[in-house]
Amino acid sequence: MDNQKIKNAMDFACSVVRKDMDEFKEGFPGAQSRNYKYQTNGGLDWTDGFWTGMLFLSYEYTKDKKYLELAEKNVDYFKNRLDKKLSLDHHDIGFLYSPSCVADYKITGNEEAKKYAIKAAEHLMTRYQPKGKFIQAWGAMSDEKSYFLIIDCLMNLPLLFWASEVTGDTKYADIAKNHLYTALDVVIRDDFTTYHTYRFDKNTGEKLGGKTAQGYSDNSCWARGQAWGVYGTALAYHYTKDESIIEKFEGLTKVFIEKLPKDNVPYWDMIFTDGDEPRDTSSAAIAICGIIQMAKYKKYPEFEAAADRMLEALIDNYTSKGKPDMNVILTDAMYSRPAGHNPEAAIYGDYYFMEALMRKLNPDWKMYW
């Protein structure tokens, strides 16, 4: 794909972020838009880190300090949220603190941000269940019904791996590895499709079985879960260099690509391969980032070509360009079809789309994960 096309897409994305900054001020967009308008709220969702990550990406790309100033104000919000433990009783601590505090530290060297990112990693470790060896996704740690992991959590592990790297203390990575190997063992089926969630017996840690929360059915393959698997294994390989992860990455990615419809943007669940079911553009953006990341270690010409086709499809057919009433970047993300949602924008879709563009434009970009 022509580099200018990627540059134009990044210019457009940064212009949307710039416009949104005036509207959102120090607030945060919700996880998904309503009629393609993000509503600003006071935060406290699992997705708040993505907006901050978009500000950091815009700053790195444009060098315009206005983005950085707001990103750093956002970082103060994340510090306060952690001090007061506001809505942090879940596993999405990596999604919150990697694109905010870790990013700030990596870009500006902000020691306070580093301190809080490590503190966030400490907090994430409190979600670990030794019986079953996994990080519990949601609910009270004592709740039998909440005794499960979800595939998304692969994306929270980099915070732990990073914390071990910067502190020299292996305790964070030890927990990350325990969760990683449990998750890879239980959520990936023999054909490399995936379960969204996997339940364990609270008393014995025994494996009980896979289910879905956001997919079509327990035995289908939720597209975003598969994408979290693609990117999650690429990141796990980056931190562990464990060769056994390569086979998982390859299997998950092959399935993701094989199940793409003709226009290269997945349906919200990969049980659908044609027809008029809604898409999930965010899944494509996440998978593209994973493929580009893994290509740093091993060449995958077919995967990389598919990633380019997906990215081009997003740029050509799924942005809000020419629709000034929208304040989003990517259209047609699906948050949760079982919850009755319709195609909208999702803030994580917008973030990963920008990350994918950044990765293409600057192969040396230092990731926030």
The amino acid that residue 332 corresponds to is D
Report if residue 224 touches ligand GLY, rule: CB under 6 A. Answer: yes
The least distance separating ligand GLY from the CB of residue 224, rounded to whole angstroms, comes to: 5
Comparing CB distances to ligand GLY, the nearer of 152 and 344 is 152
Question: Is residue 343 within 8 Å of residue 282, measured between CB atoms?
Answer: no
Comparing CB distances to ligand GLY, the nearer of 104 and 152 is 152
The least distance separating ligand GLY from the CB of residue 54, rounded to whole angstroms, comes to: 17
Which of 11, 62, 12, 5 is closest to 323 using CA atoms? Answer: 12
Comparing CB distances to ligand GLY, the nearer of 114 and 179 is 179
Report if residue 344 touches ligand GLY, rule: CB under 6 A. Answer: no
Catalytic residue at 191?
Answer: no
Q: How far apart are the first and last CA of the chain?
A: 26
Rounded Cα–Cα distance for residues 256 and 273 (Å): 11
Backbone angles phi, psi at 46, to 5 degrees: -75, -10
- Give the CA distances from residue 286 to residues 41, 74, 139, 222, 229, in Å, rounded to whole numbers and listed in that order: 25, 23, 26, 13, 10
Comparing CB distances to ligand GLY, the nearer of 164 and 220 is 220
For 74-109, letters b (16+ CB in 10 Å) and e give bbebbbebbeeeeebebbbbbbbbbbbbbbbbbbee
Comparing CB distances to ligand GLY, the nearer of 100 and 164 is 100
Burial of residue 2 (CB within 10 Å: 0-12, 13-18, 19+) is exposed
Q: How many residues bind ligand GLY (CB under 6 A)?
A: 3
Q: One of 20, 45, 104, 152 is an active-site residue; which one?
A: 152
Catalytic residue at 143?
Answer: no
Question: Is residue 179 within 8 Å of residue 132, measured between CB atoms?
Answer: no
The least distance separating ligand GLY from the CB of residue 57, rounded to whole angstroms, comes to: 19
Q: How far, in whole angstroms, is CA 151 from its chain's centroid?
A: 11
Comparing CB distances to ligand GLY, the nearer of 61 and 351 is 351
Q: One of 20, 45, 48, 92 is an active-site residue; which one?
A: 92
Report if residue 269 touches ligand GLY, rule: CB under 6 A. Answer: no
The least distance separating ligand GLY from the CB of residue 30, rounded to whole angstroms, comes to: 13
Supply 89's token pair: 């009783």
| Residue with the shortest CB distance to ligand GLY | 152
Report if residue 152 touches ligand GLY, rule: CB under 6 A. Answer: yes
Site residues (CB under 6 A) for ligand GLY, limited to 181-220: 214
- Give the CA distances from residue 134 to residues 147, 152, 279, 333, in Å, rounded to whole numbers and listed in that order: 9, 13, 31, 29
The least distance separating ligand GLY from the CB of residue 324, rounded to whole angstroms, comes to: 28
The least distance separating ligand GLY from the CB of residue 213, rounded to whole angstroms, comes to: 9
Which residue is it, tokens 């008393």?
Answer: 203
Residues annotated as catalytic (active site), given as ranges: 92, 152
Contacting positions for ligand GLY (CB under 6 A) = 152, 214, 224
